[in-house]
Amino acid sequence: MPAFFIKTYGCQMNERDSEQVATQLRQRGYTAANSEAEADVVLLNTCSVRDMAEQKAIAKMQNLQGRKRKNPGLVIGFMGCMAQSRGGELATLIPKVDMVVGTQKYHKVADYIDQLFARQNPDMDSLRQPIVDTAEEAGSQNTIKDHALTTSQVTAFVSIMQGCNMHCTFCIVPSTRGAERSRPINEIVAEVRSLVTKGVKEVTLLGQIVNQYGRHEFPAVDGKTPFTQLLYALEEIDGLERIRFTSPHPIGYKKDLIQAFRELKKLCEHIHLPLQSGSDRILKAMHRTYTADKYRRLVDEIRAASPGIAITTDIIVGFPGETEEDYQATRKLVEDVRFDNAFIFRYSERRNTPAADYPDKVAEEIKDARNKDLLGVIDVIAEQNATDLMGKTVEILVEGPSKTKASRLMGRTRTNKLVIFEGDNRHRGQILPVKIIDNTAFTFYGDPVIHL
């Protein structure tokens, strides 16, 4: 059977979608190639959040098109958000592409590849038309549920919903992922139970606005929103040690979710809390539906419920109309909140978003300067936070060998800090106490406090 290779751009949702496609291809008898050079099928799972991600995917496909001229039997295709956004335009831009499949049709990819091989004939190449499918499909949120676990994997992503209804003015996701659609709680619980029987100890729940899960489909029960109901249900699964989730929205942190951080032992002390800007004027232009003061008060409430919780964030610099005063408000909020880490992005204009038509564009050199300055602020705070962690004993879930040195183990704290330490691979999947003895940037080094 042919071999396939999937290159994934973008977020954890895309990683999870690629895993689903890979699983279905394996079920058809296709084999996974170690590299694109060894593959008969090369698929690019694309991202549209920033222009750079799109340009990288297009450049990669143009390179593959060159290979396809020499090897007409090679099947190449786009999947994901850029495929959804640009559709047949990509087949025109890259004439040799075989397939363009959107975000609600991942479950069709294996069928389409079968079709492409069935009709493949190099002598009739001009008659082969690309498959383009970006149509909406009811129930597509329920199709991302299969996992391609390795025998030693102890963490897993679980997709619980698709789509977004927030319509932030800078964001293309509502048009690439569609409206919010959520899976039933019992199906998610069953999926996690199955993962646990295969050795998984930690799950990360995925959704575009994950803490808005189920708000349109399922009722509140005993004062708990559907997302919080799901967390409490997962808490009861024997053998599951840790629960995480991403990516949320500040308005989704209702009182019941904050209370869950007080009550649920498996819910890890780490949240990703996108800020985007510390300026009320820019937040309003972004349609973020909160103010800087409300964001600060939310952080205080969360930290009161879970002392020591780690908070990471997303920030955009250079949004249209952002003045130096607006930027300084963002900088001040970052210094006040003292995030554990931040993903800082220069504003990237996205097609068919309101902000693309906003006046007062910020010059690229100003975006670059603000980006570098804010990264410097985050680095200083991270180093100070790292100093506070030195000498302390933390709980590590051992995930396996370090990616940079196979003779060492790696794992994460409950606050999502990456820790490297000496140990034996037989401890994979175990939770061990480790004393932090050193750090570089955002990586920590530890010494096990038990004999390994």
- Is the pLDDT score of 125 beyond 60? no
Q: Residue 396 phi/psi, 5° resolution?
A: -115, 135
- Please identify which residue in the block is written with the tokens 């189920």: 214
Q: What is the average pLDDT across 240-249?
A: 97
CA atoms within 13 A on the CB side of 213: 27
Domain 393-448 = CATH 3.40.50.1580: no
Query: Which of 244, 243, 178, 250 has its CA nearest to residue 216?
Result: 178
Q: Pseudo-torsion of CA 156, 157, 158, 161, nearest 10°?
A: 180
pLDDT of residue 286: 98
Domains 149-268 and 295-387 belong to one CATH topology: yes
- Taking only the tens place, the pLDDT of each residue in 387-397 is 999 999 999 99
Measured between alpha carbons, how far is 38 from 67 in angstroms, rounded to an integer? 12
CATH fit for domain 149-268, picks 3.90.1300.10, 3.50.50.60, 1.20.210.10, 3.30.750.210: 3.30.750.210
The CATH code of domain 3-133 reads 3.40.50.12160
Helix axes 292-305, 324-337, angle to 10 degrees: 10
pLDDT of residue 121: 64
- Please identify which residue in the block is written with the tokens 């900088």: 331
* Type of residue found at 55: Q
Q: Two tokens at 345?
A: 């992005």
pLDDT of residue 443: 93
- Is the pLDDT score of 124 beyond 90? no
Measured between alpha carbons, how far is 338 from 379 in angstroms, rounded to an integer? 11
Percent of the chain with pLDDT over 70: 98
Give the confidence band of 122 by pLDDT, cuts at 50, 70, 90: low
Mean residue pLDDT across the chain: 94
Percent of the chain with pLDDT over 90: 87
pLDDT of residue 123: 55
Measured between alpha carbons, how far is 158 from 196 in angstroms, rounded to an integer? 12
What kind and span of H or E run contains 438? strand 431-440
Q: What is the average pLDDT across 160-176?
A: 95
* Type of residue found at 411: G
Query: Which of 308, 299, 306, 368 has its CA nearest to residue 334?
Result: 299
Residue 249: Cβ within 10 Å count: 19
DSSP 6-46: EEE-SSHHHHHHHHHHHHHHHHTT-EE-SSGGG-SEEEEEE
- Taking only the tens place, the pLDDT of each residue in 396-442 is 999 999 888 878 999 999 999 999 999 888 889 999 999 999 998 78
pLDDT of residue 450: 67
Cβ atoms of residues 437 and 449 within 8 Å: no
- Taking only the tens place, the pLDDT of each residue in 307-366 is 999 999 999 999 999 999 999 999 999 999 999 999 999 999 998 899 999 999 999 999
pLDDT of residue 449: 85
Task: State pTM to two decimals.
Answer: 0.94
Alpha helix stretches (DSSP H) within 134-290: 173-177, 185-197, 226-235, 255-263, 280-286
DSSP 221: B
Q: How many residues does the chain have?
A: 452
Cβ atoms of residues 190 and 376 within 8 Å: no
Query: Which of 53, 62, 60, 86 has its CA nearest to residue 5?
Result: 60
Q: Residue 357: which residues within 8 A CB-CB, separation 6 or more?
A: none
Query: Which of 29, 4, 7, 3 has its CA nearest to residue 18?
Result: 7
Query: Per CATH, the architecture of 295-387 is what?
Result: 2-Layer Sandwich (3.30)
CA atoms within 13 A on the CB side of 358: 21
Measured between alpha carbons, how far is 152 from 123 in angstroms, rounded to an integer? 45
Cβ atoms of residues 374 and 368 within 8 Å: no
Q: Two tokens at 74?
A: 């090679």
Query: Which of 234, 252, 256, 388 has its CA nearest to residue 310?
Result: 388
Give the confidence band of 128 by pLDDT, cuts at 50, 70, 90: low
Segment 212-221 long-range contacts (CB within 8 Å, at least 24 positions apart): 212/165, 212/180, 212/248, 212/249, 212/252, 213/160, 213/161, 213/182, 214/161, 214/182, 214/185, 215/180, 216/180, 216/182, 217/181, 217/182, 218/182, 218/184, 218/185
More confident residue, 451 or 415: 415
Q: Residue 291 phi/psi, 5° resolution?
A: -110, 170
Going from N- to C-terminal start, the domains of the chain cover 3-133, 149-268, 295-387, 393-448
- Taking only the tens place, the pLDDT of each residue in 178-220 is 999 999 999 999 999 999 999 999 999 999 999 999 999 999 9
